[in-house]
Amino acid sequence: MQDQLDDAHRADAVEWGAARYQRRERDVRVQELDDEALVFDVRSADTHHLNRTAYSVWRACDGLRDMATIAEGLCATHDVPREEAEQHVQRIMGEFAERDLVWPA
């Protein structure tokens, strides 16, 4: 039973790692401030503050790089272990999706 669950988790992780997202470029206005950014969503009139980590993930969402690659990039630029980088990317992508700032490529 445990083996089956572990296999399922591994399969989910592989699926998540292979996912690609495209950041929204229409109807958003981005103001880069040092290594952070404000993203203004013209449709909802909401403004989002992207800290250094979130902004680097946002920039990496080009529809070509998958999540595993983005997490790997975060390890290098932010000097964090792989597992922590994956957790950050997963959480940030969840927030982006909730705010309609990215979509699956």
Site residues, other proteins (CB under 8 A): 29, 31, 33-34, 36-38, 40, 45, 47, 49-51
Minimum distance of other proteins from residue 7's CB (angstroms): 42
Residue 30 vs 75, nearer CB to other proteins? 30
Q: What is the DSSP string of 7-67?
A: HHHHHHHHHHHH-EEEE--TTEEEEEETTEEEEEETTTTEEEEE-HHHHHHHHH-EEEEEH
**For residues 45 and 76, which CB has a smaller minimum distance to other proteins in the complex?**
45
Nearer to other proteins, 22 or 31 (CB): 31
Output the smallest distance, CB 34 to other proteins, in A.
6
Rounded to an integer, what distance in angstroms lies between the CA atom of residue 94 and that of residue 4?
Answer: 26
For residue 68, the minimal CB distance to other proteins (Å) is 28
